[in-house]
Amino acid sequence: MSKIHEGNISIEDNSSTGIHLSYALGSFFNDFVATALSIWVFKFYETEVFLPIIFITIAVVMYGLWNMINDPIAGHLSDRNIKFMKAKGKRFTWFIITAIPCSLLFVFIFTPPASNEFIIFLWMLAFLCIFDTLFSFMTISWQSIFPDKFREQKERTKVAGFQILFSLLGLSVGMIIPLLIITTRPPGTNIESYFITALIITIICAITVLIMLPGMREDRQMIDRTFRIEKREDREPYLKILKYAVKQKNFMAYLFAYLAQTTVMALLLASIPYWAQYITKITPIEELILLLVFLLASVASAPIWIMVARRYGNRIGYMCGTGGTALFLTIAMFITDFYGIMVGMILIGISMGAPWTLLYPCFSDVIDEIVVETEKRDEGVYYGLRTFFGRLSIVIQALTFGILHILTHFNPKATNQSPLAQWGILIGMFAVPAFFYFIGFLCMWKIYDLKPEKVQIIKNKLKELKL
């Protein structure tokens, strides 16, 4: 990595491709774990453990309420200057402390005791919350390095390109491994296969964390910069930072667009097992083919969306993706033919490649604007708020499923569902996600104003401020 010296401050030039790949592997971890958890945890407790739907919904909603406290505070704590963390950097240190335990705890979510419903409910709630606490600290530490470590648009889009590849790889592996291992015997007889799947996921996560370490390392300039900026002035109170954050229109517009993205993914992924088993009746091989077609379309579209972002700005690319996906999801709800579904998955994959590819570059633009205005780097707080909004999608997914399954009389012990229950599955998988993506499109179109000219002005000011 080359360095440009300005006065007594060294400003990093581009990192090596190896570092880019190591850092971007965090996208694999995040999407791998999130995919496996969001797809199977609801169905596991509903159709294998037979925990009543009301208990499952309450557990996930309480888990979401815990996120209201956990994520922003994790961001705030990760920004604090702690003396022993100055040796390796606070973001790298927090990552080390939380990443491995987070990986090891995953398996316990799928090993509830053979007990009464209330004990199982408490087990589900407790391990979801403990797992999420560690996951939040790990993710916030990983994400908050991005705008400081990768400071130019070209490098950011390059890393974002790797992130989309790893994200899609994590998504695919997180879907394929359970699909190959979880058995499809009658409800209530597949619990052992869930445990084996969770154990394999835990091992893969632990190995991934070790490979990420080089990309997470902070050099002396990064460490000194984060500690120096906070030493220069007294640290702002947490509530004052929150109050400032909610007044930033680009930050809030991005948060709602991000909530739309995570909600779409949560609903789509969690609906797939129900959709495949009760509506399309497709075989695991056919389900795998549809999955691969969707993922390949997303991967193939990533370079196109990167070119669109470099030429027209991240905002335009994001708008195209959210608007297009909302349209294609609506159409796909009424398609039942296998080949028609395949075409629909290709179109959805291409359009969803845009928000996946531009998620981090857009947020980096938002962070840059805030840093210029405040002359401080409080990324952890803002990433904590973003993580909180993203976790709200889990609550939305649980409430959507809980309401739809109750209203449409879904029977978890039955091998076939009524037409009304099937429509409930379709609405949860296609109609509700399309609505949220349309909201995301409107936020980026009407509120978010970080166009290329403004973004370049902000980057120039960052260099002047040596931030």
The pLDDT tens digits along the chain (467 residues) read: 444 443 443 444 467 788 888 988 999 998 899 888 888 899 999 999 999 999 999 998 898 788 777 877 777 777 677 776 677 777 888 888 899 999 999 999 999 998 899 999 999 999 999 998 999 888 888 877 777 777 776 777 788 788 878 887 888 898 889 988 988 788 888 999 999 999 999 999 999 999 998 888 777 676 666 666 554 445 566 677 777 777 888 889 999 989 998 898 889 888 988 888 889 888 878 888 888 898 889 888 988 998 998 889 888 999 999 999 999 999 999 887 888 989 999 999 999 999 888 887 888 888 888 888 877 766 667 877 787 788 788 889 999 999 999 999 999 988 889 999 999 999 999 999 999 999 989 998 999 888 888 888 888 887 787 65
Separation CA 406–CA 400 (nearest Å): 10
Predicted TM-score (pTM) of the model is: 0.74
Separation CA 58–CA 193 (nearest Å): 26
pLDDT at 125: 95
pLDDT at 233: 47
pLDDT at 276: 86
User: Does residue 71 contact residue 140 with C-beta atoms inside 8 Å?
Assistant: yes
Q: Which tokens is 388 given?
A: 């909180």
pLDDT at 8: 42
User: Does residue 37 contact residue 109 with C-beta atoms inside 8 Å?
Assistant: yes
Q: What is the DSSP string of 317-344?
A: HHHHHHHHHHHHHHHHTT--SHHHHHHH
Residue 327's CB is within 10 A of a number of other CB atoms, namely 17
For the chain, give every domain's residue range: 7-465
User: Does residue 117 contact residue 54 with C-beta atoms inside 8 Å?
Assistant: no
10 forms beta bridges with 5
- Topology of domain 7-465, per CATH? Growth Hormone; Chain: A; (1.20.1250)
User: Does residue 461 contact residue 332 with C-beta atoms inside 8 Å?
Assistant: no
Separation CA 338–CA 289 (nearest Å): 10
Find the Cα–Cα–Cα–Cα dihedral 41, 69, 29, 363, rounded to 10°. Answer: 130
Cα(first)–Cα(last) distance of the chain, in Å?
18
118: helix, coil or strand? helix
Q: Which tokens is 451 given?
A: 């166009």
Q: Which of 66, 194, 59, 68 is nearest to 123 (CA)?
A: 59
How far is CA 439 from its chain centroid?
18
pLDDT at 7: 40
351 CB-near residues (< 8 Å, 6+ apart): 301, 320, 321, 324, 325, 328
Q: Up-side HSE of residue 242: CA atoms within 13 Å toward CB?
A: 13
Separation CA 256–CA 154 (nearest Å): 26
418 CB-near residues (< 8 Å, 6+ apart): 408, 409
Find the Cα–Cα–Cα–Cα dihedral 234, 240, 241, 245, rounded to 10°. Answer: -150
Phi, psi of 218 (to 5 degrees): -105, 130
Q: Which of 8, 118, 129, 4 is nearest to 74 (CA)?
A: 129
Question: Which residue has tokens 């190995």?
Answer: 207
How far is CA 408 from its chain centroid?
30
Give the C-alpha distances (Å, rounded to integers) separating 175 from 38, 39, 290, 382.
10, 8, 12, 30
Separation CA 5–CA 11 (nearest Å): 6
